[in-house]
Amino acid sequence: MSTAVETINNDLEAIDEPLETQMTLSMGPQHPSTHGVLRLELKLDGEMVVKAVPDIGYLHTGMEKLFEYKKYQQGIVITDRMDYLNPLGNNLAYVMAAEKLLGLEIPERAQVIRVLMCELQRIASHMVWFGTSCLDMGAMTPFWFTFKEREKILNIIESASGGRMTPSYFRIGGLMMDLPAGFENRVNQFLENFPDALETFDTLITGNTIWQKRTQGVGVISREDAIDWGLTGPCLRGCGVELDLRRHNPYTGYETYDFDIPTEKDGDVWSRFLVRMRELVESHKIVRQAMERLKPGPIKADAPKVVLPDRDDMRKHMDSLIHHFLIVAEGFNVPPGEVYFPIEASKGELGVYMKSNGGPKPERVHFRGPSFVNLSALPVMAEGEMIADTVAIIGSLDIVLGEIDR
């Protein structure tokens, strides 16, 4: 009898112990707001996030190792497939790193076209961010408007390069080819209509009370933490840090363009949203200036042993035909050395570290991707927020897993 009473008492004591209030939730490994495959391990107290741990690597492709087995000009097509929403930016960082090792001077027309195409690509990338972020939080209508504008830009890029998502348009020493007939008319028509689209976006979302309540004060990161974590791009400028490599470490002629650097000071989802929306206006301004600067001229550097000759030259000159054969068959040797070349991509600082041993293939290529660095700060932003806000925070980082897992 005493044994039975003792068992009952033990059971009652177990019931009196406080219940475990925290649980671990695996969000993923698939989630709509990540442009890829991401898993988050969330430790929750009710619906509040106590801890968030990103788990990456589901799309690992070994791209950086692949560069070591490809000639320099063959590596360009690999860059398209990292951040596939900003392929021209990837192209630019890679070819300019090689051009720095080679000491090439790029003609003015080619530089203007590079700026023009990269800013159009920035707008297209922001259109995907805007549309999908709204969609993830339940606002479907903006998605159709943003993708309509993106489609116009992809058509423009396709007309020049032959590709939409993977253009590979920039080349070491210049461009793949000159702009086609009718290109300027397409761009001018887009420039004329895009301000109306921006006004529509503001009407639908910026002034929307529900959107403001879902984003203001959510996913906050301080200016100091943003700097310590190495954030760049809109994520950093949303904390009040005015840093844009197009202005502070200019390349391909950006120092000659007139544009503002949008910043916000609160460091929340709303601030990152406002920065990107204002960047659309500035990119539109840069594209218009680039169109005004388009003058006839060469689009390739004067480096016959590096740059493929024109078809007409190959028909008329034997040495051009020989250079073409050697470049395609054997590649070109790059002087020994190592460089790091950063650009201001749509998501932040995209840097390329390139090391040459003097041969036709790089000894090492490494990318400093903004998505990877910005994602690392997610635990700071998510801690103390509701689980439903995690989706908004991920969307505000604008990450692409193809670049993170490379």
Site of tokens 């709509």: 32
C-beta of residue 288 within 8 angstroms of C-beta of residue 191 = yes
Q: What is the pLDDT of residues 80-115, one digit of tens each?
A: 989 989 999 999 999 999 999 999 999 999 999 999
Instruction: State the pLDDT at residue 314.
Output: 83
**What pLDDT does residue 220 have?**
96
| Of the candidate ranges 42-46, 131-135, 402-406, the one whose mean pLDDT is the lowest | 402-406
Tell me the mean pLDDT in the region 245-272: 96
Terminus-to-terminus CA distance in the chain, angstroms?
68
The DSSP-derived string for 198-215 is HHHHIIIIIT-HHHHHHH
pTM of the model: 0.91
Three-class HEC string of 264-331: CCCCCHHHHHHHHHHHHHHHHHHHHHHHHHCCCCCCECCCCCCCCCCHHHHHHCHHHHHHHHHHHHHC
Q: What is the mean pLDDT of the chain?
A: 91
Contact residues for 15 (Cβ-Cβ < 8 A; gap 6+): none
Asked if 262 and 122 count as a contact pair (C-beta separation under 8 A), the reply is no
SS3 218: coil
Domain 52-404 has CATH 3.30.930.10: no
- Per the CB < 8 A criterion, the answer to whether 58 and 38 are in contact is yes
**Bridge partners (DSSP) listed for residue 348:** 345
Cα distances (Å, whole numbers) of residue 356 to 137, 192, 362, 388: 46, 45, 5, 47
How many CB atoms sit inside 10 A of residue 179's CB? Answer: 19
Percent of the chain beyond pLDDT 90? 77
**Banded pLDDT at 315 (limits 50, 70, 90):** confident
pLDDT higher than 90, residue 310: no
At 15-38, the pLDDT tens digits run: 455 556 789 888 888 665 567 788
Kindly list the domain boundaries of the chain, sorted by start residue: 52-404
Annotate 138-156 with b (16+ C-beta within 10 A) or e (fewer).
ebeebbebbbebbebbbeb
Structure tokens at 208: 């929307």
d(CA 318, CA 327): 14
- 225-247 confidence digits (pLDDT tens): 999 999 999 999 999 999 999 99
List, for residues 125-142, the tens digit of each pLDDT value: 999 999 999 998 888 999
In contact, 227 and 377? CB cutoff 8 Å: no
Specify the amino acid at residue 238.
G
Tokens at residue 196, please?
A: 């109306």
Place of tokens 């969307």: 395
What does residue 336 show for φ and ψ, rounded to 5 degrees?
Answer: -60, 145
d(CA 373, CA 365) in angstroms, rounded, equals 18
Query: What gap in Å lies between CA 254 and CA 344, rounded to an integer?
Result: 11
What's the CA gap between 227 and 133, in Å, rounded?
24
pLDDT of residue 3: 59
* Alpha carbons 171 and 96: distance in angstroms, whole number: 9
